Structure 1
Amino acid sequence: MTESSDPYRLQELAQREARALAMGGEDKLARQRAKGRGSARERLERLLDAGSFDEQGLLATSDLPEAADKTPADGKVCGWGRIDGRGVYASADDVTVLAGAGGRVGVGKAYRGMQLAAERGLPCVVLGDAGGARVPDIMGSAGMMSMVYPIQGAPRDRRVPLVTAILGECFGGSAWTASVSDIVLQVKGTAMCVGGPSILEIATGEKASTEQLGGWELHARTTGQVDLFAQDEEECLALVRRALSYFPDHAGLPPPAAPAPEGGARRDALLDLVPEDPRQVYDMRRVLEAVCDPGSVLELKPLFDPSLITALARIGGQVVGILANNPKFTAGAMGPGACQKAVSFLCLCDSFHIPLLFLHDTPGFFVGRRAEEGGMPLRIMNWIAALQQCSVPRISLILRKSYGMAHCNMSGGNMGSDCLLAWPTADVSFMAPAVAVNVVYGRKLLEMPDPHAARSAFMDEIARANAPWDAAARGYIDRVIDPRDTRVELLRALSRVKGARSQRRLANWPRMA
C-alpha cells in the first residue's frame, strides 16, 4: 500500500504498534516462560484490574539509531491502570529487550510517569526485571550526564505510595528505585544488587553468585532492604495489591478504612497466649492476630532481626502500624537491625498518617561486642530522633517486661504517647530485678548472715517497685487494664485519634537510616 492509498498512515501505525507489542520476540518470551516468569505485559495484566491498563509511550525506541529497531517501547512498559478500582501508575521492565537494561528514552519515560503520578496523587508500582543501565547510552561525558536517575530532580518525599517488586535479576536501576520505595517485595530465586557477578569479577576479580550478591535470604536476614517475599510471581503481585490496600492514594488523604468485622476472638484468649511468668517465651504474632481484625496483619521484614515485629494491620477497620517486641526471638532483646527496622517503619507510617501501636515485652537492647560493632548507640538514638519527629498518634501497651532505654524507644512513659496502657503484669525499670539485685546489693549480700533470704527479699522489693501501680498513681500510665479488655481498650484509644493527620516530618528521611 502506497502513502497515497493510506493517507492517514493507519497501516504504518498498526505495524509499529505490532512491533512494539511483540517485545523482544517469541524466542526470548519463550525463554522467560521456561523460567516460570511472565513478560512485562503479562505481569501488568495480572496486577491491574482487567482491561484497565492505558499504556503510554508504546512507540518509544532507543535514541541511538543503531539500536532503534531492537528496542520496542525502549524496554519499559508504562502506563495508567487500576487496582481494586483505585487509579495507579505502573511501570514494568521488559527483560526481553536487551536484558531489560535501561536506555535514556525508556528510563526517562518511566520516571516522567512517576513524577506525573506524584503530582496527580496516584500510587506508583514498579515491576523490576532489569540489567542496569545500557552501556552504550551512558558511555562518555555526554552519555553519563544524559541518563535520568531517581536521585535526580525533586527529593523523594513520599507524596504517594511507591511499591517495587523484584521479579527477576535486578541490577542498578531497579535496585535504586527499590531503595527509595515505601514497600519492596521480592520473588524467591531472583536478585537485587548494584551489579551482577560478571561485572563484579571484571571490575574487582571477586567471584560471587547472583544469590550471594542479592538473593532473597540476604535481604531477608542481613540487609533488611526487602519487606515482603513470595514463592512466585502470582503471590508477589497479590501481595502488591494487598500492601497498597493499607495506604491512601496520596499523602493528602487518610488511610482507607475497611468495614469493622463482627464478633472477634475469644475474650480470654490473651490469657492463654501470654504466660504470666516473664521467663517463659511466647510468639507475639499470635497476640497480634487475637487483637487485630482477622487476617489483617501484614508483617514487614519478618526475618530481619525478628525480636521486633513491624506490621501493618487493622483494628476495627482502621489501619494501624504496629511495633511489637517478640519474646520468641532473643527473649525480645533488640539489636542494631531492630533499630533500623523501627526507624524505617516510623518514617513509613508518619508519611501516610498511619497511627502507631507499640506492644512492649523486652528486656532491653543487646549489649556486647557484636552490638557495638553494629553501631548500637547511634542506632538507638536514631530511633529516638525519629520517634521525636514522628507526629502520628501513638498508643503504647506494656504487657510484661519493659526495661532500660528500650522502654523509651518503644514510646514508653514521658515519650509523648497519646495513650499509655499497661497490663497488671507490666514490669518496668532500668534493668531486670535479678540484675538489679546484683548491681545494687551485691556486696551487702555477701556480708549478710543469710544471703539467699536477703536476696529473695530484695527481689520482692524491686518487683513491687517495677509493677505498674506506682507509675499509674503518678499519672505516667493512663490505665492499667484487664488483658481480656485489650482489643476494646485499643478500639477506644484509636477512636479518639481517628482522622488525625501527621505533619509528615519524616517524609524525606532515608528508608533504612
Structure 2
Amino acid sequence: MNLEATQGNDRNMDRSSTTQSSTTQSSTESTMDELIQDLQRRKAKAAQMGGDAKVAAQHALGRYTARERVDKLVDHGSFLELGILNHSDVPGAVEKSPADGLIAGIAKVDGRLVVVEASDKTVFAGTEGTVFMRKAEQVHNFAVKRGLPIFHLGEGGGLRIPDGMGADGISEKMMPMTLLRHNRAVPTMAAILGDSFGGPTWTAVTSDFAAQVKGTAMAVAGPRMLEIATGETVSDEELGGWKVHAEQTGQIDAFADDENACIALMKRFFSYMPSHAGEEPAVLSTADTGDSPDRRLDNVDALVPTRKTRAYDMRRLVRAVVDHDSFFELKPYFGAALITGLGRLNGRVVGVLANQPLVKAGAAGPDECDKATEFICLCDSYHIPLVFLHDIPGFRVGSAAEHRKIATKIMVWNQALAWSTVPKVSVVIRKSIGAAYGNMCGPGMGADFVVAWPTAEISFTGADVGVNVVYGRELANVADKAEAAAMRQQLVQQWEIDSSPYKAAAKHLLDDVIDPRDTRRFLCRVLEAACTQHGARSERRLANWPTGF
C-alpha cells in the first residue's frame, strides 16, 4: 500500500468532513447581531416586571414601581443592574418572576457610589424567593467588602411560598449571619414605601436609618396572618402604621407624606454619612455652609428664659447653634423629652443630644434612654462627634418607669457613653440634676470639654425637692407657719447658690462658665482642637452593638 497516497486521501477526507461540518454549522448558528437581539429581548421582558396589569395596579395605589423608585433615588444614568436575568427556580414560575422580584445593582447618589436594592411588588407581591435572597446576600456582601453604602427600597410580603416550605426550604432561608455581622462597615438606609411584612421589616429595623411613607404599614406579619394564626383582628394602620412607629416603637427615624419626600429623607441622612467606616463624613467649607464659626447668638435671651420653671423649645436653640439649616432630627416623636439629630458645626458633622423642656420638663424615661443609646452607637460608629445640651431635671421615676426597666436602660445609656471614643463636648444650659448629669456626658464621662451657662443649676436634686428631703422634719417642727415659710425660702436660695456652676468651675470640675452668646463659637473652636490629631476618628467600639434597643 502506498502510505503517502493513503495519508493524502485521509487529509482530503478530513478537509471534506470539515467543509461539510462548517456548512452544516453555519446554517444553524446565530449571528452576533441575533444573539445580541435575543439578549436585549430577554432584558426588555424582565424590565416589564410583573406585566402591564400589575404595574397599573401599583400605580392605582398611588405608588411607584421598584424600577421607578430606583430612578428617583439614583443619579441619572448611573444604575448598573445586577441579576436582571434572574428568575425563580421553582418549576412553573420562570415566566412569572422577572429578576425574581428584586431590582439590585450599583449606582451613584449625589455623585457617590452606592449599592441599591428595591423589592418589586409586581412579582409575587414582593415576596422573597430563593434566587431573590441569594442575590440580596451577594450584593450586600459586595457592598461591605468594597465599602459602598446600601440603600433598601422596601415593600412586600416576606418569605415566599413555596420556596420556604418544608424543613429543607426553611433551613435554607434563614437570615445569613453576614447580614447581621457586618459591624456597621457601611451606612445602611431603608425606606418603607408600601405595606411591608417580614423581610423589609427586618431590613428597616437593622438599618442605620429608616424612613416610612405615611399610610403604609410595617410589621413582622400582616393582619391576615394574624387573624388566621391568633384570631386577632387589626387594621394595617393599628398594627404598624406610621404613628405606631413614630410614638410607640421608635423603629422608624423619619416620616414622609409621599415616596418622593421619603427618598429625599434617605438622601439627606446619607449626606451626613461617610461612605464607609474607614473614612469620616465630609467637612464642608464656610463657603458651602454660608455660616461663620464666630457667629454670636445675639437673641439667646429670647431662646432660653432664665426662669427655670418656664418651658421653651430646645429645637430653636439647637438650630441657632449649628450651621444654618443643617439640623436633621431623628425620631422626633419617640422619647420626645430628648432631641437627637445630625447637624454641622463649621462644616463638620456632629450628633446633638439635647433635652426638651416642652415635654415632661425634659425628664428622661425609658424611651429617651433607648433613643440616646442607639444614637450614641450610630455616631461613634461613623466618626461623628457628639454635642450634649443639658436642661434635664433628672429621670422620670415611678412604677411605670420601673416596670419598663428604667434602671437597666439608664445604665445601658451610660455604658454606650463610656465606650464611645469620638470627641464629645457638653454644655449645661439651665439644669442638670442627679444621675442624668452623667448620662448627658457630665464630668467623668469622657467629654473633652464640659462647660455651663451662668443660668446652670447642677445638683443631685432640685432645690424645692432637696430642701423638703433634707430639711423637711426640721421645717415641720417650726410652729409658726410664716417663720417656717421664710426659713424654707432661705434654704431654697442657699441651695440654688450651692447649685450654681461657679463652685464646680472654681475646682476645675467644669472647664468654664461661658457667655451663652458665645456657645456656637466655643463649640466650633473646641471641636477643631479635639479633631486636630486624628480628626473625629473613633475606635468604633460600639459598631457591633445592636442597631435597636
Do residues 141 (structure 1) and 177 (structure 2) align?
Answer: no
CA distance in 2, matches of 1:97, 1:351: 36
Q: 1:485 aligns with which of 493, 504, 518?
A: 518
- Select which of 275, 297, 319 maps to 1:289: 319
Give the drift of 1:500.
Answer: 2.8
Bigger shift: residues 270-279 or 141-150 = 141-150
**In the alignment, what sits opposite 1:469?**
502
Q: Which runs of 5+ in 2 are unaligned?
A: 1-26
Larger Rg belongs to:
2
Following superposition of structure 1 onto structure 2, how do residues 88-487 of structure 1 map, counting pairs within 5 Å? Answer: 88-147=114-173, 149-151=175-177, 155-260=181-286, 261-263=289-291, 267-448=297-478, 449=480, 450-487=483-520
> 2:435 is paired with a residue of what secondary structure?
helix
Counterpart contact for 2:137–2:179, Cα < 8 Å: no
- C-alpha separation between the residues in 2 aligned to 1:24 and 1:403? 59
Mean CA deviation greater in 426-435 or 154-163: 154-163
Q: If the length of structure 1 is used for normalisation, what is the TM-score? A: 0.98
The residue type paired with residue 100 of structure 1 is G
CA deviations 1:411-452 (Å, max 9, x no partner) are 012212101010001100011100001000001112234101
Q: CA deviation at 1:149?
A: 2.1
Partner of 2:102: 76
| Deviation readout 1:7-43 (Å, 9 max, x if unpaired) | 6622321221111000011111111112211111111
The question of whether the paired residues in 1 share the 8 Å contact of 2:101 and 2:119 is answered with yes
1:347 and 1:3, CA in 2 relative to 1: closer, same or farther beyond 3 A? Answer: farther
Post-superposition shift, 1:480? 0.5
Work out whether 1:502 is the aligned partner of 2:538.
yes
Tell me which moved more, 78-87 or 366-375: 366-375
Q: Is the 8 A contact 1:191 1:211 kept in 2?
A: yes
- Counterpart AA for 1:325: N
Over 3 Å counting, the alpha-carbon distance change for 1:511 and 1:429 in structure 2 is same
Output the amino acid matched with 1:507.
A
Q: Structure 1 counterpart of 2:29, which letter?
A: S
Percent identity between the two aligned chains: 49
After superposition, what is the alpha-carbon deviation per residue over 1:254-307, rounded to whole angstroms, capped at 9, x for unaligned? 111122234566631222100000000000000011001111100000000110
Question: How many Å apart are 1:151 and its aligned residue?
Answer: 4.4
| 1:4 Cα deviation after fit | 2.9
* Preserved CA contact (<8 Å) 2:290 2:324: no
- Which consecutive residues of structure 1, in runs of 5 or more, have no partner in the other structure? none
CA-CA distance at 1:493 after TM superposition: 1.2
Amino acid at match of 2:47: L
Question: 2: CA distance between counterparts of 1:59 and 1:153?
Answer: 24
Letter in 1 for 2:433: Y
**Residue-by-residue CA offset, 1:47-106 (whole Å, 9 max, x unaligned):** 000100000000000111211111000000000000110000000000000100011101
C-alpha separation between the residues in 2 aligned to 1:179 and 1:267? 38
Amino acid at match of 2:379: C
Contact 1:3 1:9 in 2 (8 A): no
Q: Which amino acid aligns with 2:543?
A: A
Deviation at 1:156, TM superposition (A): 3.2
Q: Deviations over 1:105-159 (max 9, x none)?
A: 0121022111101110110000001110102001011111222525456613100
* Contact 1:321–1:354, Cα closer than 8 Å, also in 2: yes
CA contact (8 A) 2:223 2:235 kept: yes
Q: Using structure 2 for the length normalisation, give the TM-score.
A: 0.91
CA distance 1:292–1:154, shift in 2 (3 Å): closer
Do the aligned partners of 1:88 and 1:123 also contact (CA within 8 Å) in 2? yes
Q: Which residue of 1 aligns with 2:14?
A: none
Alignment check: 8 A CA contact 1:421 1:478 kept: yes
Q: How many residues matched? A: 512
Give the distance between the partners of 1:443 and 1:473, measured in 2 at CA.
33
Residue 10 (1) aligns with residue 36 (2)? yes
CA contact (8 A) 2:206 2:548 kept: no
Alpha carbons of structure 1 residues 365 and 150: separation in structure 2 relative to 1, 3 Å:
farther
